[in-house]
Structure 1
Amino acid sequence: MITSDSDLPPRLGSLTFHGPLSEARATRLIERLAATGPADVLDIGCGWGELLLRVLEVAPAAKGAGIDINAEDLARGRALAEARGLADRVEFVEESALGTDRGPVDAILCLGSSQALCDPEQPHDPAAALRELRRLLRPGGRVVLGEGFWQRTPTDEELAGMWPGAATGDHYLLGDLVDLAIEAGFRPAWIETASADEWEEFESGYRYDTEVWLAAHPDHPLAAETRERVDRQRATWLNGYRQVLGIAYLTLVAVA
């Protein structure tokens, strides 16, 4: 059976940011970053680059580059840039961030994307990602890093409910994560973490459009596959990492 794009389940249309980030927190992050007057901003694993575009709106002298490997998200970012009159100050590029030569820059956004800086054949290594971020920044430059951390050490039962192969070594406790940033050549200018409300808005928004689509198309050829995927995603949150996995937003300053 041939289906048109309009027949397919929508993807992430109800999300402003691809992560547990409120409008209020985003505004504060942007204001602190833009206050330094960056000339160039790099967004690693940018998705559709909503935060990057907002930085450029309040830092009119800055130019930006967003890199990602998801062509659909990048196309959404280009359309948003065009609609906001920012197309001449930003580029969205489909490329890997591993070993990128797009530095040094004044500011970096890396929200939930530090794995893009690590060897995909090895376990995720936040320490290696932090060293890469330091390499890509000029002295005194800033990075806003969104990184997962354990709010407490998860139990075996909780780990079993998370993603396949989940282990305590997948993330650090917050204090250990900040220590890694300092060891990599940063000072932690601001430390904050996503709230329960931000998590719930993100998790529900992540699936909202698809859940509504499933309710309206229970017999669609793709319904069974989509339902299984969404039910599995929801279960890993509710039965696994909810109130265990946190997201830290660290504003880090590169030591001269």
Structure 2
Amino acid sequence: MDDELNALRRSRMRWNTPLSEAHAELLLDRMDLGAGHLVDLGCGWGELLLRALGRAPGLRGTGVDTDVTGLDRGRAAARERGLTADFTESDAATWVVPAERAFCVGAAHIFGSTKAALEGLARVVPSGRLLYGDGFWAAPPNPAAQEIFGPDTLTLPDLLDAAAGAGWRVLHFSTADQLEWDDFESTSRAGWAEWVSAHPADPRAAEVRDWLDGRLSEYVRDYRGVLGFTYLVLGR
């Protein structure tokens, strides 16, 4: 897809994770934000990072990602809200600047696996708190779901064991509910669905329709209710 459509792809999403406003506020509460440095690794457009900066004026924020479109969206949102955040184009898996607080939500793949992510993030937050979000098998997956999400997806007990094995203490955990999942999947399709409705004769429309139909089918048939998503507030 070209740059125009890539920019529209997630334009109706609040953040790129199944998370409600109320759930996000709960997680930010549990992070005990204050002065210091917060780094969001795999930040996308950094909406959760900006929410954190808005509630903790003494906090310094850095968002790290390789998605230029997302970083530009984050910078524009920060300017619009009068917030100061450093959005950095870099590989989050190689980030070594220590911080008192960190986010890594839906970005374990950057490190290669859940276990590798939790071990790598322990080097970024030698002492402090981490908000870690990751998928897990909430029910036994069918072969299609296994193919989509790969062999490294864990069950929730195994994910918690991996966190403990990397030296983290679980201070809080919660999971996305079905409404959060359905809203996430719907908004992930909404930007392109609106574009197709407005441009039905565009040469790119057929490819976009195929993607929309395929994504909806995969979700409903293969992983709705099977893939869960957990948010862990971890401490060291």
Q: Would you call these one fold, judging by a TM-score over 0.5?
A: yes
3-state DSSP of counterpart to 1:98: helix
Whether 1:44 aligns to 2:41 is: yes
Tell me the distance in 2 between the aligned counterparts of 1:218 and 1:36: 47
Q: How does 1:50-199 map to 2 (within 5 A)?
A: 50-87=47-84, 90-102=85-97, 104-118=98-112, 125-139=113-127, 141-155=128-142, 159-160=143-144, 162=145, 165-166=147-148, 169-199=151-181
Residue equivalent to 1:121? none
Is residue 14–residue 209 contact of structure 1 (8 Å, CA) maintained in 2?
Answer: yes
CA contact (8 A) 1:153 1:168 kept: no
> Aligned with 2:91: secondary structure?
coil
AA aligned opposite 1:12: R
Change (3 A) 1:38 1:244: farther
Tell me: CA distance 1:76–1:205, structure 2 relative to 1, closer, same or farther (3 Å): same
Q: CA deviation at 1:132?
A: 0.5
| Aligned partners of 1:149 and 1:245 also within 8 Å | yes
Amino acid corresponding to residue 30 of structure 2 in structure 1: R
Query: Which protein is bigger by CA-based radius of gyration?
Result: 1
Aligned-residue identity in percent? 38
Return structure 1 stretches of 4+ with deviation > 4 angstroms.
Answer: none
How far, CA to CA, are the matches of 1:4 and 1:68 in structure 2? Answer: 17
Q: Determine the C-alpha separation between the residues in 2 that align with 1:219 and 1:170.
A: 41
List gaps (5 residues or longer) in structure 2.
none
Name the amino acid aligned to 2:234.
L
Distance in 2, Cα, partners of 1:177 & 1:94: 29
Out of 183, 200, 205, which is 1:223 matched to?
A: 205
Q: In structure 1, the residue corresponding to 2:100 is in which secondary structure?
A: strand
Q: 1:154–1:168: 8 Å Cα contact kept in structure 2?
A: no
1:13-32 deviation per Cα after TM superposition (whole angstroms, max 9, x unaligned): 21111110000000111122
Match for residue 214 of structure 1 among 189, 196, 203: 196
Q: Return closer, same or farther for 1:247/1:81 CA change in 2, 3 Å cut-off.
A: same
Q: CA deviation digits over 1:132-171, x for unaligned, max 9? A: 11111032x110011000002213xxx32x47x3477331
